Amino acid sequence: MLDRTAATSWVLGRAAATIVASLYCRLRFRNPYAASEVNTTTATRPRRIAHLDMDAFYASVELLRYPQLKGLPVVIGGGRRREDDLLGKLRVAHPEQEWSSAHLHQIPLDFFPRLAGYTGRGVITTATYAARQFGIGSAVGLMKAAKLCPQAILLPVDFDQYRHYSRRFKAIITDIAPLMEDRGVDEVYIDFTDVPGGQREAGRVLARLLQKSIFEDTGLTCSVGVAPNKLLAKMASEFNKPNGISIVLEDDLKTKIWPLACRKINGIGPKAEAKLKSHGIETIGQLAARDQQWLMDHFGERSGAWLHAASHGQDERPVVTTSEPVNMSRETTFESDLHAVRDRAELGAIFTRLCEQVAGDLQRKGYVGKTIGIKLRFDDFQIVTRDQTIGYFTSDAQEIRRFAGQCLKRAPLQKRLRLLGVRVGALLKAEDAKAGNEDAARAALPAHEPTGQLF
């Protein structure tokens, strides 16, 4: 029988061994130089790629703040949140009670604004599932939504809060499965193939662990699709929303994928869908039945080959863990249309603010750019862009304002404006620009001078 000192040493030794083993596993999968090691095991394991999509992300974050709205039709849209004016109204209506950000869950339902009678120009950013039952969702105009569901509660967007929760759920994912591709504020691709547990039940076990971990940390739910590649995984993540897990195997193509509409393939938009329908092709199975050469003859060589491969569930794209931004932009949609002459002062202030915001984004993320441009949307929804490439890289707000202003002078400004945007492209890391890295600088330049054509 071990004495007390020996027993203590044995326990500490076991604990240390466990910690070292755990660190080894984490470092093995985090180490970018271990790619060759991962690839050797992939050859003997079926590829398992997951697409994780947060459920009604913006709306779900708002329901954390206002749990009394759960189960009700709620839409997120309109102007950005500045200060919660509901608290101000409550302080006036109920001065006997203290109202602060700690009391948001106590706000009575009748104090929340409704869509009924909305007359602004905003659009819906997202909506709860209860609201979607009325046919309203992302990109639907708020005035139209007010007719479809006047009782829906309207909340302003709060991008700072959404970004906060986005960072939180992604940190949880990379701690469990490090090979993650960031695809936006609310969705990611994850390579399960060589992650411990990633092959169990074809990925369902690891997907369940991610769902549980995210919910316990944030209170938010997500849906996960696991398949042999990114194309099928993205489709699968839509099969069982919200808070669902869907598995697609190689043999499931005919039963789970081919009956779907062609539009379910990520990359087939409204125009391609309409053209396919004109040829009698409505489902993915009907698309797969067409000869590849026929598709190439009717849709072009590259597009036709891609359509054929996609309809057969073929996609070899890897999960990319790092990527460089192509451009940075800021834009705003006006509550009411503005005229370039009669509203010049107001437009000038907005234009300056957009340039300052883009400059701030560039400086904060460590980039400079050479191509500066603008985007305009008129009251008839026509969109115009103008760009120019300058002779040096910059992230200075005044420089961006000066060259964006020159682009503005080349745009037709007779009609009233609905939207104004500023963009900086041909980006380069600021340290590369300072070091005179000519190869990186050339790579950042556009292949040709942007023409600023109407589109």
- Residues 414, 419, 422, 427: what is their CA dihedral angle, to the nearest 10 degrees? -120
| Rounded Cα–Cα distance for residues 292 and 305 (Å) | 6
Residue 309: the pLDDT is: 96
Q: Where are the alpha helices (DSSP H) in 66-196?
A: 85-93, 129-132, 142-148, 159-176
What are residue 247's phi and psi, to 5 degrees? -115, 130
Q: Please report where in the chains the tokens 């990186």 appear, as a residue.
A: 440
Rounded distance between C-alpha atoms, residue 171 and residue 175, angstroms = 6
Which are the catalytic amino acids? 187
Which pLDDT score, from 0 to 100, does residue 105 have?
81
In this prediction, residue 437 carries a pLDDT of 56
- Residue 185, phi-psi category: left (phi > 0), alpha (psi -120 to 50), beta (remainder): alpha
- Residue 415: CB atoms within 10 Å: 15
Which pLDDT score is estimated for 181? 94
Residue 232, Cβ neighbours under 10 Å: how many? 27
Which residue has tokens 């300058």? 390
How far apart are alpha carbons 66 and 84 in whole angstroms? 12
- Which residue blocks in 44-141 are alpha helix, DSSP H? 57-65, 85-93, 129-132
Rounded Cα distance between 390 and 366, Å, is 19
Burial class of residue 48, CB neighbours in 10 A (0-12, 13-18, 19+): buried
Measured between alpha carbons, how far is 153 from 415 in angstroms, rounded to an integer?
Answer: 34
Q: How far apart are the first and last CA of the chain?
A: 83
CB atoms within 10 A of CB 177: 26
CB-side exposure of 206: number of CA atoms within 13 Å? Answer: 29
Residue 355, CA distances (Å) to 200, 331, 359, 403, 405 in order: 50, 10, 6, 10, 10
Q: Is the pTM of this model over 0.75?
A: no
Identify whether the C-beta of residue 211 lies closer than 8 Å to the C-beta of residue 169.
Answer: no
pLDDT at 37: 32
Asked if 283 and 262 count as a contact pair (C-beta separation under 8 A), the reply is: yes
Instruction: Give the mean pLDDT per block of 10 residues along the chain (455 residues).
Output: 42 42 38 34 77 94 93 83 66 80 80 83 85 88 90 88 93 94 93 93 96 96 97 96 95 95 92 94 96 95 95 94 82 86 90 94 93 92 91 94 94 91 93 68 46 30
Q: How many helices (H) and strands (E) does the chain have?
A: 17, 13
The answer to whether 109 and 70 have CB atoms below 8 angstroms apart is no
